[in-house]
């Protein structure tokens, strides 16, 4: 029986597979200058494999969107006296000033996580670690700012049962904060992985879907901010 010698060069992490080349576009990951054009732990299968994580995330985001759209409908209907047995009890609350700061922090965090995602895609790991770490810190600042906003309202004597507007404010911002906390846990997970230099293909996918989720939460907050303080039918 003849002996066949095979090689596993096409499946080793950091080398890639398929075609006649070893890196993207048939590039050679082992260049004379020692640089690599294929990120560590990456293979051709990672480029062509269906992104089931992204699909799952879109399904989850659709359910979150439906929840907040249902609450938006209730928010609008509650403001109209004709739809509330003619009772006009809607009293707009004053915006806690810290919410402007919170909104700015969240917008900056959306930029930073996108920069981190793009740097990781290019294999620039030092830059990725800085920006993903900054995003995690900004996420913590945002949640702390939300606590500060609730305390400011409480200091004014505004509670969840004070009037319909305050009830919706606490409900909508609390639900958003809970979802943001989930995103922050995912951010911390990928940040720790980055600091430990353990960014596998699965963790790269985690970075992508976390960035998608974070952008969605950013846009959702801007929407809630406008809805709660700049859309007042009952004012």
Domain annotation covers residue 11:
yes
Q: In this structure, what DSSP letter does residue 37 have?
A: S
Q: Who has greater pLDDT, 121 or 10? A: 121
Is it the case that residue 23 has pLDDT exceeding 60?
A: no
Is the domain of 11 the same as that of 77? no
Average pLDDT, the chain: 79
Q: Is residue 235 part of a domain?
A: no
The pLDDT tens digits of the residues spanning 104-113 come to 999 999 999 9
Same domain, 31 and 3: yes
- Tell me, what's the pLDDT at 53? 75
139 in a structural domain: yes
| Domain-embedded: residue 73 | yes
Range of the domain at 29: 1-49
Contact (CB, 8 A) for 53 and 208: yes
Q: How confident is the model at residue 43 (pLDDT cuts 50, 70, 90)?
A: low
**How much is the pLDDT for 1?**
45
Number of domains in the chain: 2
Asked if residue 166 and residue 67 are part of one domain, the reply reads yes
Same domain flag for 189 and 208: yes
Place of tokens 């004012």: 235
pLDDT digits (tens, 9 = 90+) for 51-91: 677 888 899 999 999 999 999 999 998 888 766 666 677 88
Which of 13-27, 79-93, 176-190 has the lowest average pLDDT? 13-27
For residue 132, the domain's CATH number is 1.20.120.80
- Longest pairwise C-alpha distance within the chain: 93
The confidence score (pLDDT) of residue 51 equals: 66
Asked if 120 and 190 count as a contact pair (C-beta separation under 8 A), the reply is no
Question: Do 31 and 73 lie in a common domain?
Answer: no
Residues 89 and 28 in one domain: no
pLDDT at 39 over 60: no
């Amino acid at each position: 029986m003849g002996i066949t010698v095979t090689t596993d060069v096409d499946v080793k992490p950091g080398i890639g597979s398929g075609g006649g080349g070893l890196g993207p576009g048939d590039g050679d990951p082992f260049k004379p200058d020692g640089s690599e054009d294929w990120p560590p732990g990456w293979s051709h299968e990672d480029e062509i494999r269906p992104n089931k994580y992204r699909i799952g995330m879109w399904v989850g985001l659709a359910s979150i969107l439906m929840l907040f759209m249902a609450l938006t409908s209730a928010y609008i209907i509650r403001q109209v006296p004709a739809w509330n047995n003619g009772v006009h009890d809607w009293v707009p609350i004053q915006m806690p000033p810290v919410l402007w700061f919170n909104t700015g922090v969240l917008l900056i965090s959306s930029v930073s996580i996108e920069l981190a995602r793009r740097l990781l895609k290019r294999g620039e790991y030092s830059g990725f670690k800085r920006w993903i770490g900054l995003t995690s810190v900004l996420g913590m600042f945002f949640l702390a700012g939300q606590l500060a906003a609730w305390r400011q309202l409480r200091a004014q004597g505004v509670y969840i049962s004070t009037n319909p507007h305050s009830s919706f404010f606490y409900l909508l911002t609390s639900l958003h904060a809970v979802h943001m906390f989930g995103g922050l846990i995912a951010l911390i997970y990928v940040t720790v992985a980055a600091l430990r230099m353990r960014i596998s293909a699965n963790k790269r996918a985690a970075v992508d879907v976390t960035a998608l989720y974070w952008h969605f939460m950013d846009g959702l907050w801007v929407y809630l901010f406008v809805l709660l303080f700049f859309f007042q039918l009952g004012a």
